[in-house]
Structure 1
Amino acid sequence: MMEANDQVAPKPHWKKNIILFLSSQAISLFGSSFVQYAMMWYITLNTQSGIMMTLYIICGFIPTFLLSPVAGVWADRYNRKLLIIYADAMIAFATLILAVVFLMGYNATWLLFLMAAIRAVGAGIQTPAVGAILPQIVPSDQLTRVNGINGSLHAVIMFVSPMVSAALLTMSTIEMIFFIDVITAMLAIATLLIFLKIPLHEKASEIQKTSYFSDFKEGLTYINNNDFLKKFFLFFAFFFILMAPAAFLTPLQVTRSFGDEVWRLTAIEIAFSVGMMAGGGIIASWGGFTNRVHTMTFASFIMGACTFALGIIPNFWIYLVFMALFGVAMPIFNTPTMVLVQEKVDENYLGRIFGVFGMISTSMMPMGMLIFGPIADVVKIEWLLVATGLFILILAMLLGKNKVLIQAGKPTLNESP
């Protein structure tokens, strides 16, 4: 199979373009993330209902899952930059209307559910487009570095935004936070629209002669005929299911085993976020092993070992160390994963492949919670962490021994081995 980026033309001014693109995405993500926290805390404080929080989470998950395959087709058929702009504009417009409605005194909780669903639609449109657009901007030998920097930016934003959101809720109203989000979205849109020039990819520049459904089927056929992608997606489906206890049940474990003080829950979030920032910097400067799958395997072993350790550590401060180490491993795992797809998939299929990847990533962890959540009420969470940690270690060994994936992970022709 010809590597997707072996024959890509040189990308002039790519450093300027990627700085503009990552800056616009950071501005947009910052506004979106602190609004997400503000809405979540607003619902918590005003309803104090677990059912309401569950509904809010569902509203923020289902639209992304359902839209991902369609959005993947859009990302291949149309201008990816404009798709990102349209999604941001839609969210900003809906947020502006919500702010005005709240100012008029109509602040029903269901409006926040609707807003969560609209934001999830926007995220569903953006995610495949963002994943597919990076190889259009960045030379393939710089993809690891750029994805690592992007991961660090995301980690910093996710670290800062809860604190900013809490401070803003204390000093002002939720309506003002909505207006700030509108402003950040408009800044991000202006940056992309005015300053960033990205040529259309091949498929988007052609007259579309097939239907959406035909394009989607074509994407599935592409996956079915590609041994690497089939095994890659199968690995991730199991991996995300096994990650569910560490991702969702550790706050409950801390409350049950170490104490229900709020500072403890804050501490585990800070430890994980600081670890992710460090991990993003490490992978951006190091670049990983020559074979990308070896880097993924290495990070998988760390995450499996940390999951196991979180189930047996009796001291909270040592627990935080392993939580931070888990955070370090995440970008070391995620970055070569993204780069591998960007390198190995034909540019005209990237959107659809990232759409399917989005479906897997948004559905498998909740599916894992459907399995492990009820079990956590009858079995100690520590046991679940020990068991899933061992299974992740086994999965990591299988990943490191899979000949198809190891072959796919080798450097491309335009990289120095």
Structure 2
Amino acid sequence: MKDSNKLKKATYHLWTFTISKLISSFGAQVYSFAVSFYILQLTGSATSFAANLICNILPRTLAAPFAGYITDKYSRKIIAITAQIATTVAITGLLVVTLSSGLSLIAIYTTSCILSLTSMFSGVAFTSSITGLVDKERIQKAMSLNQMSISFAAIASPAVGGLLYGAVSMPVFLIMYIAASSLAIVLESTMNFNLFAHRKEEVEGEPKETMWQSMKAGISYLKLQPLLMAIIWISLLINFLFGAFEVGYSFILIEKMKMASQRFGFTQGAFAIGMLLLSIYFSIRKEVNYPLLVSKRAIIGMGVMMGAVAGPILMSLTDNSIFVYYLMIMFSLGALVITVNTPIMVMMQKQIDDDYKGRVFSILETMSMALMPLGMVLYGFLYDVFPAQWILLISASLFVGVTLILARPSVVRKAHPELEKVRAHRRGVAS
């Protein structure tokens, strides 16, 4: 009876977690869309717009290691709820400033910095708590539903943001965001973050670790996990090389192909739809048997798609053909991103000790984002100097090469020793 109640509570967690994530992701993305629009309308400056992007990336990158320590040290439920309350307070503060003295860039930048930190703390707390919230058999479903809510928000938020931005004033818009954020707080407060958790109890009189010792312990734990280290290095280098696509895609379609803004928006939507459909697929299928192998193949597929972006520059195509070609590429990339992330995240959830999850996931986030700004600056310079097609093709080749080296067959065999037996059995059956 006790197990039955736990499973019912886990089912409740699956849906409250998904709804809470959908509300917070949707609110954050609609807010981001409206604020970006406002900045460009107010200043017409790309520099002011870029400054807001930096306010979104830099604080979370700098604070991620500390978030890992705090998440492993204190109650993850309290951290998640506090982060959501801080989001609500920050938006309320922006509303008060808007009503009293008018919206200013300083107020927007300050709010963006706070929201960057709160979303990062909330994200690390929730990611570290998946195995505490749901039973082992439904970890993949939980990860997929989480990704579905993010993908759905990515598809719908530009349309809703555009509609609201034209229809209501900024104060009304902020009040709607405050209401949504408050609902997320209520949902999160009903969840039991320790339902299935296996965290170490603190012993009375035992000397307490300092923050620095705790962070060093997290790095030492990672060093003893060669598979996790391989995943982190792949993530670091792949995110850096993916800058060739992040910068090049918009540059090629808008500058080289002169694609209409509406069509360009449709190609961006195809990416989110690919993510959403694969998230639904992973939420209903059984767990992947060989996650590292599946992710390796999907990363190679991403490299191929990245190189294929250069295709229309190298051959002559009609405008309609170019549009359909990029729709297919973006849909495939969205699907491949989920195929990379979901199996690997499920594997990490199961392999990482509950007491180290916060630190490991925060190190992964820091490493993933560390080279992204550098990659964007470097590729921005390269696209101004060299032909776009060669930058993409060389970067795509490096992308595939790095994956083949860091996820070589010996690494895959260590991750999945049972795979060799299955292959030997198949060879025996075939002969």
Fold match by TM threshold 0.5: yes
* Structure 2 counterparts to residues 352-371 of structure 1, below 5 A: 352-371=359-378
Distance 1:108 1:30 in 2: 23
Tell me, yes or no, if structure 1 residue 233 matches structure 2 residue 232: yes
Cα deviation, residue 380, structure 1: 2.8
Q: Which runs of 5+ in 1 are unaligned?
A: 1-9, 413-417
Tell me, yes or no, if structure 1 residue 324 matches structure 2 residue 331: yes
Cα deviation, residue 131, structure 1: 1.0
Tell me, yes or no, if structure 1 residue 269 matches structure 2 residue 268: yes
Distance 2:157 2:22 in 1: 11
Cα deviation, residue 409, structure 1: 4.8
What is the RMSD of the two structures over their aligned residues, measured on CA atoms?
2.2
Cα deviation, residue 295, structure 1: 1.1
Larger radius of gyration: 2
Cα deviation, residue 225, structure 1: 2.1
TM-score by length of 2: 0.88
What's the secondary structure of 1:12's corresponding residue? helix
Name the counterpart of 1:108. 104
Name the counterpart of 1:388. 395
Name the counterpart of 1:5. none
CA contact (8 A) 1:291 1:406 kept: no
What's the secondary structure of 2:215's corresponding residue? helix
Distance 2:257 2:121 in 1: 40
Distance 1:409 1:64 in 2: 33
CA contact (8 A) 1:399 1:405 kept: no
Cα deviation, residue 278, structure 1: 1.5
* Structure 2 counterparts to residues 5-154 of structure 1, below 5 A: 11-13=6-8, 14-154=10-150
Name the counterpart of 2:202. 206
Distance 1:284 1:21 in 2: 14
Name the counterpart of 1:224. 223
Cα deviation, residue 151, structure 1: 1.1
Distance 1:69 1:382 in 2: 37
What's the secondary structure of 2:371's corresponding residue? helix
Amino acid in the other structure paired with 2:257: F
How many percent identity over aligned positions?
22
Corresponding residue to 2:191 among 185, 189, 196:
196
Aligned positions, number: 404
Q: Which runs of 5+ in 2 are unaligned?
A: 420-431
CA contact (8 A) 1:231 1:405 kept: no
Q: 1:124 to 1:204 in 2, by over 3 A?
A: farther
Corresponding residue to 1:165 among 153, 161, 164:
161
Name the counterpart of 1:300. 299
Q: 1:225 to 1:318 in 2, by over 3 A?
A: same
Cα deviation, residue 408, structure 1: 2.4
Distance 2:311 2:348 in 1: 35
Cα deviation, residue 130, structure 1: 1.4
Amino acid in the other structure paired with 1:199: N
What's the secondary structure of 1:104's corresponding residue? helix
What's the secondary structure of 1:206's corresponding residue? coil
Deviations along 1:295-329, one digit per CA (max 9) or x if unpaired, are 10121122111111111135232122111111111
* Structure 2 counterparts to residues 251-270 of structure 1, below 5 A: 251-259=250-258, 261-270=260-269
Cα deviation, residue 11, structure 1: 4.8
What's the secondary structure of 1:376's corresponding residue? helix
Amino acid in the other structure paired with 2:336: A
CA contact (8 A) 1:296 1:333 kept: yes
Deviations along 1:137-177, one digit per CA (max 9) or x if unpaired, are 22223222221222122101111011111100100112222
Distance 2:201 2:169 in 1: 46
Distance 1:23 1:409 in 2: 34
CA contact (8 A) 1:76 1:204 kept: no
Distance 1:28 1:377 in 2: 37
Q: 1:94 to 1:112 in 2, by over 3 A?
A: same
Cα deviation, residue 80, structure 1: 0.9
What's the secondary structure of 1:107's corresponding residue? coil
Amino acid in the other structure paired with 2:191: L
Amino acid in the other structure paired with 1:341: M
Corresponding residue to 2:353 among 328, 346, 353:
346
Name the counterpart of 1:4. none
Amino acid in the other structure paired with 1:243: F
Q: 1:203 to 1:43 in 2, by over 3 A?
A: same
Distance 1:27 1:196 in 2: 16
Distance 2:161 2:399 in 1: 35
Name the counterpart of 1:247. 246
TM-score by length of 1: 0.91
Amino acid in the other structure paired with 1:353: V
Distance 2:414 2:178 in 1: 46
Amino acid in the other structure paired with 1:356: I
Cα deviation, residue 248, structure 1: 3.4
Distance 2:152 2:269 in 1: 10
Q: 1:198 to 1:79 in 2, by over 3 A?
A: same
